[in-house]
Amino acid sequence: MDSVSVQIFEEFDGLVSERFLGRVAQLTLEHEQIERSLSLVIADDDTVRELNRTYRGLDQTTDVLSFAFDNQGEYYGEGSPPSDWTEDVEFILPTSVDVGLGEVIISYPQALRQATEAGRDVNDELAHLTTHGILHLLGHDHMVDAEQEVMAAKETAILAEALGALNE
């Protein structure tokens, strides 16, 4: 099942492998036994910062943002988020329609900075951020230690399996 759409901003063409990241995302979904589609976008700092400001109320760049199609997520800014979405809203779609899991948006420049700082390959960082973002779409978080430990253990297991499969 090809359920992952990967879009890469033009300025990063040739720096990022659409096939590699699509496969990491697909292996993450398979590991978590999820049969829903998702979109993965490799963007620039300005785009990620604007999305973070608009939809989370945080005026800063970040490495990865996850937007689930079935919940609004946490808004940290002052006032109300820019949407009137509530959990009471239900969309009735035919059972044959895959509404998708959501969208993961990664800042390539931030991933590169983090990889350089950690002394690792940017593709490893992108793979980690892809998996991390998908786990957020599935409801995992790292705001408290217990949740962070569970999420980190899942990331480690998924990446070991995914990167092992990709290197075979």
Question: pLDDT in tens for each of the 168 residues of the chain?
Answer: 458 999 999 999 999 999 999 999 999 999 999 999 999 999 999 999 999 988 888 899 999 999 987 766 665 666 666 665 454 445 555 555 566 889 999 999 999 999 999 999 999 999 999 999 999 999 887 767 778 888 889 999 999 887 776 665
In the chain, what are the domain boundaries? 4-74+98-166
Q: By C-alpha distance, which of 50, 18, 39, 31 is closest to 123?
A: 18
Number of CB atoms found within 10 A of residue 113's CB: 16
Region 4-74+98-166: CATH code: 3.40.390.30
Q: How far apart are CA 109 and CA 61, in angstroms?
A: 10
Query: Phi/psi of residue 162, each to 5°?
Result: -65, -50
Q: How far apart are CA 128 and CA 47, in angstroms?
A: 20
